[in-house]
Structure 1
């Protein structure tokens, strides 16, 4: 069962304190899992505190309120604040350690031009050992708006939306210049965008201004005055790049760079070419849809082609436990309703897809 938590405090430090106290055991569990992961990648002990402190300093400069929230979270959990900084910088630390981690996540946005609301869906693929590491967090803000995010315990944000009509989907990227230091955590960027931006233009400006040390795509979608819009900000050291939807309104992103001129610095396709195959599959399936809505997009994403490297992937028990990989959740953003629909598992087990599969004339995807 998915854990949902709604904060009551609007002050950043108090909100973090409340969250940390409510989830102390789960946050400590995540600290332990990531410590083991980092030490395995480092081939021995790893100074998590120094990396976490660097992440806190970068966060304080970029998003002071989130720095205060992380300080409160550490106090509520009863741990050194550097360990909360470490959790939020897990992507940056893995890049620093030159970990050979494969890409994670596939996202699809459709921004129609006829006044209809956009469709936004993504898978979150990560290590199976972290299948119980996450929750849905609702965060009331002082201005009366609400940020809703699916995130890991101890990490301030990831995929989500706000009640101002803005959403964020999130996929990892890998650039040749990643990992030379610890910069602003990409998870902090995602949350800051949701907390601070009311328009897609402002969201892109905020994301583009982050001094990052690891790469990710911040896939933005908005509904403003009955106009749907989408844009990807491809964060990387020295970046960013920008990507707009195709002429048919679709913006599909997996784990390689799409912005012009970044091919030579993109390390993902050579290491994990499944990102190219997933992108091609989803692009063609989206173009073939007769009707575009969350149900049809989910059904098209329920592909197991590639097995562990599929859009909808399932862990292989034959693999060593630290390497088992799975689609841990599937996220649908409804900007019109301001709702965040999170399903524990891949698209193939989503209730909307299972209902569709029961229909006699339903299309079957492999």
Structure 2
């Protein structure tokens, strides 16, 4: 796959509509390709015709207009920016609500971790990282986006074109990762998870982001956000019936995959057999790194960086195909094929600007891209 060395990096600024308009114009080809993919996915996996998808998107539109009107205007700009008469506002809303509209019938998996580590006797750094696993066909459409808005932190994220909030961080060192959870119910009267991710990335701190999510009533579907800033990480197990928040363990580590660890407020049937295995494996690998740091008598924060995590944790193929580094299942072809599409490692330290490294494709596979730096 040659798309991994050609991922677009775009910078957006201005009013919400202007941001969306530029987004739509610069990524029009990718947005149109995404709509083709998701029309087929909804039909194949959920038996939903696109007309039904747009009907549900219209219900979410009313909620977004009430609770996050600026982002509705941004989505309107995206639709207009594509220049296609076949793309309307509801099509873009459908992309941003895809997880909720699917009613938990999709089987995307990801492995995320937050790790607070000492760099010397007086300072620490916070790492936030994940492998993002999704349909192979989506990979060639991925983009890196920076958003500059007056009075808000600058955002850098990796996203699917057309979607306004995804995985990344801001200039205030607030970062987010995402793990899909398959559970019911889904409520169109609450905001979709990708909208909440964007609002978190507009926040000056992780605690402010959590307060915003709570003030808006929580999430319209069951999802997990791993959020961090330079003060630490929190695991947010969100659902329409309420959220449960988890902190780091004694080693400063929090790991999450695709099942709730503590939230029992929703109906969550088992769906990814590899999820608990990846969770245990990631913890095991991090402990091995920690033991090695102790043997070297160096502060763990001086040992653990993006390169080490990609090599020692995120390239791990144990339990394949449902491994931390997800490989396509030979028994599932076409639209059903899922693999790790990118790895991101963000680093936040007091007194330093936030940074991240992104590798597209499966880390450690010898087919992945070179390292992309954020900011750029």
Q: Under TM normalisation by the shorter chain, which class is it?
A: 0.7 to 0.9
Between 134-143 and 179-188, the greater mean CA deviation after superposition = 179-188
Match of 1:89?
97
Aligned to 2:275: 275
Match of 1:231 among 215, 231, 234: 234
Among 338, 346, 362, the alignment partner of 2:362 is 346
Structure 1: unaligned runs, 5 residues or longer: 356-366
Distance in 2 separating the partners of 1:145 and 1:181: 28
When normalised by structure 2's length, the TM-score is 0.85
Are residues 45 and 251 of structure 1, via their aligned partners in 2, closer, same or farther at CA, if it must alter by over 3 Å? same
Are residues 214 and 161 of structure 1, via their aligned partners in 2, closer, same or farther at CA, if it must alter by over 3 Å? same
CA distance in structure 2 between the partners assigned to 1:329 and 1:50 by the alignment = 32
Q: Which residue of 2 aligns with 1:324?
A: 337
Larger mean CA deviation between 315-324 and 28-37 belongs to: 315-324
CA-atom RMSD in angstroms = 2.4
CA deviation string 1:22-64 (max 9, x = no partner): 2112111111110111111233624222122222222222222
Q: Residues of 2 paired with 1:172 and 1:340: CA distance?
A: 22
Instruction: Say which of 249, 252, 260 aligns to 1:249.
Output: 252
Distance in 2 (CA, whole Å) between partners of 1:278 and 1:42 is 26
Q: CA deviation at 1:241?
A: 1.0
Aligned-pair CA distance for 1:182: 6.8
Hey, what does 1:58 align to over in structure 2?
63
Answer yes or no: is the 8 Å Cα contact 1:232–1:242 preserved in 2: yes
CA distance in structure 1 between the aligned counterparts of 2:109 and 2:271, rounded to whole angstroms: 13
Q: Which residue of 2 aligns with 1:108?
A: 113
The CA deviation string for residues 85-116 of structure 1, in whole angstroms up to 9 with x for no partner, is 00001101111xx52x3241100110136522
Shift, 1:232, TM fit: 1.4
SS of 1:266 mapped into structure 2: coil
Which of 207, 213, 234 is the aligned partner of 2:213? 207
Query: Which residue does 1:130 correspond to in 2?
Result: 138
Name 2:346's counterpart in structure 1.
333
- Equivalent-residue separation in structure 2 for 1:322 and 1:237 (angstroms): 29
Unaligned runs of 5+ in 2: 294-302, 372-376
Q: How does 1:149-188 map to 2 (within 5 A)?
A: 149-175=157-183, 177-179=184-186, 181=188, 183-188=190-195
Distance in 1, Cα, partners of 2:125 & 2:62: 39
Give aligned pairs, total: 343
TM-score between the two structures when normalised by the length of structure 1:
0.87
The residue that corresponds to 1:294 in the other structure is: 306
> Of 218, 225, 233, which residue of structure 2 is paired with 1:218?
225
Rounded to whole Å, the distance in 2 between the matches of 1:210 and 1:322 is 34
Q: What is the deviation of 1:134? A: 1.2
Deviates more, 1:135-144 or 1:294-303: 294-303
| Residue in structure 2 matched with residue 38 of structure 1 by the alignment | 42
Gap change, CA 1:210 and 1:345, over 3 Å in 2: farther
